[in-house]
Amino acid sequence: MIPESTIEEILNRVDIVELISASIPLKRQGRTYKALCPFHHEKTPSFVVSSERQIFHCFGCSAGGNALSFLMQYERMEFPEAIEALAKKAGVPLPQRASFNQQAQSQNAQIYKINEAAAEFYVNYLYSADGKAALAYLLARGITRETLQKFRIGFAPDKWDGLLTYLRGKRYTTAPIEKAGLIIPKDAGGYYDRFRGRIIIPVIDAKDRVVAFGARVLPAPSRAEGPVSGVTKQEEGMAKYVNSPETPVYTKGKILFGLSASSEAIRAADLTVIVEGYFDLIAMYQAGIKNVAAPCGTALTVEQIRLLKRYSQNVVMAYDADSAGQMAALRSLGPLAEEGMRVRVASLPGGYDPDSYARAFGREKFLELIASSKDVFDYKLGALKSRYNPANLSDKAAIASEMLSLIIKFNNEILKSAYLKKLAEGLKVDEGALLSELKKISARPQGAQAAGRTAAVHPVSPLLNSLPTERLLVKLMLEESEIIEHLKERIAPCDFRDSALSRIASRIFDLSGSGKKVDAKTIIGQFEDARMSKIICELTACEGPKVTDRHKLINDCIGRLKDDMRKIKQREISEQIRLAEASKNEFRLRELLTEFQSLSRTRKT
């Protein structure tokens, strides 16, 4: 575990304004800085950064926290990774024993090194005499040498142990090479290379680390790409692509191919073009459309969508024009809508994929294709109408059912209403009937669908139901640590009706009592529950009352808090008195009446 004092030192040395402004533009407004929130779509800035408090808070989606929280949310880092990054930035050494799993970290570090060595081996082999045919194929395909170097494309020798022999020569043992997914054990003992005689495309993460590989078989000489002399591998009878298995450093559903190269372009354009394949992305990038990403041989996952949301909430899907591409696009529409993404679909002409279209027509034509992309609703309805016959009643019902399953995933009620009306017009059915069917779907158990739905589009403030007096008291303690001991003598955490505020007050009293510093950025780190961080940030970011007599304000708050608790207690006793009267329990009744009168006298004093 990392000591609290070390985390506090790191947070004290890092300026949250400097940290956040490196990722999003901040504009000074009085004592704070404002920006459009990076965690949800908005047109009016509601994202506030306080240099004085060293916290951030969004009044639109309730995201909030300190510098560490921002790094974890914005960069999608786990706590160990984020604290290490901040420690490095702050120049604070972390204790060696602070590793959360040193053995796993050591193993992962070795896998990264092995992957890097393998990538270097494949690149060098592409430019060797034995890689001549593969290089000729790639160049004939229109990929420039500059692009080959940018994406570190290589070639695996057509040998059983070409890479294995090379890595052993680098003094790597077979166990970590196998864990990296680069070799496969033989039944009779020993190992052989996973990738042989294939073009190799490294998959690189956000930190420019090679985490996996995609491997394409060389096409047969008779293929349309043109003859390539010396090719020994034939595409027929072989899988076109072989990909790395999941490893300790690679989960295919959590990474997007090309994002390490395209993230800045996506931010600048505020748009991601999603394609299916490695060469689709490479061709588009080379053509000058750099705001592009691709899932790694898998259907688009919720984790990948949330990764994209760090850079933009706008998506255009550009999948192959064939039925498989259309089905893949349709499968992704629901999760994208459910995550609050604004989705459009570009329709490629028949016979083209993004790779061939980019090579044939270039950047401008592809940009026209993106500009003419269809709204997610229109695309799915059009696709369903081409598959079913809307004139047939059962087919019409099937179309409606599939469209309603998409509409229900939108969190915005205005969009739902507009799409219902549009569907009614498009299918020539009664809007009320569609609404009834939608309500039936809503009434069904949502299961994983509900669990995956983001709450960031129309959030409810975590403080909505808490009392103003309780909020103000906690806010004052977060901002003025000198009043904590005074309040501690007069109120207790149990005086707070809001359980979250009670927990915060309790932690403030504990830290103050042990002589530790109490402020918003420190308290945030005391809770694992993200909701608590949001509450603390909202309290700190909200403007407090303009008063000159702070002492009177505190006394008034304490008075109201005590009075509220007294009223609650009196209501409880009144209910118990009613029950005692009903049961004719005279002794209990006298006790309760005495207690009630005592509370009444307390009010007068």
Q: Are residues 151 and 186 in the same domain?
A: yes
pLDDT at 98: 46
Residues 186 and 234 in one domain: yes
Partner residues linked to 27 by β-bridges: 34
State the residue range of the domain holding 205.
102-249
How do beta strands 154-155 and 314-317 pair? unpaired
Q: To 10 degrees, the CA torsion angle through 434, 436, 441, 445? A: 170
Burial (CB count within 10 angstroms: exposed 0-12, middle 13-18, buried 19+), residue 171: exposed
Supply the angle between the helices 259-269 and 278-287 in degrees, to the nearest 10.
Answer: 50
DSSP single-letter state for residue 183: E
For residues 90 and 142, state if they share a domain. Answer: no
Query: Are both 297 and 163 inside the same structural domain?
Result: no
Verify that 304 and 292 share a domain, yes or no. yes
Helix (H, G, I), strand (E, B) or coil at 186: coil
Question: Is the entire prediction scored with pTM above 0.75?
Answer: no
* Helix, strand, coil % over all residues of the chain, rounded to 5: 55, 10, 35
**At 51, which CATH number?**
3.90.580.10
- Asked if residue 261 is part of any domain, the answer here is yes
Cα–Cα distance, 413 to 434 (Å, whole number): 15
Same domain, 502 and 518: yes
CA distances for 504 relative to 466, 531, 544, angstroms: 13, 12, 18
pLDDT of residue 216: 94
Question: For residues 363 and 289, what is the distance between their CA atoms, to the nearest angstrom?
Answer: 7
CA-wise closest residue to 308 among 293, 322, 298: 293
Q: How far does Cα 589 stand from its chain's mean position?
A: 58
Find the radius of gyration of the CA atoms of the chain: 31
End-to-end Cα spacing for the chain: 51
> The tokens of 482 are what?
């000198």
Helices (runs of H) and strands (runs of E) counted in the chain: 26, 17
- Beta strand 241-243 pairing with 198-204: unpaired
Q: Give the Cα separation of 229 and 519 in Å (integer).
A: 70
User: Which of the residues in the chain have pLDDT under 50?
Assistant: 98-100, 222-236, 446-466, 604-605
- From 229, 249, 269, the end of a domain falls on 249
- 266 lies in some domain: yes
Residues 244, 106 share a domain:
yes
CA max distance for the chain: 105
227: nearest Cα among 356, 357, 359, 136: 136
Q: Would residue 570 count as lying in a domain? A: no
**Are 291 and 272 within 8 A, CB to CB?**
yes
* 552 inside domain: no
Last residue of a domain, one of 210, 228, 249: 249
Of the residues 73, 98, 123, which one is the last residue of a structural domain? Answer: 98
* Domains of the chain: total: 5
* Shared domain check, 204 and 268: no
CATH code of 493's domain: 1.10.860.10
Task: State how far the Cα of 21 lies from the Cα of 23, in Å rounded to an integer.
Answer: 5
With beta carbons less than 8 A apart as the criterion, state whether 343 and 376 touch: yes
Angle between helices 586-604 and 550-583 (to 10 degrees): 160
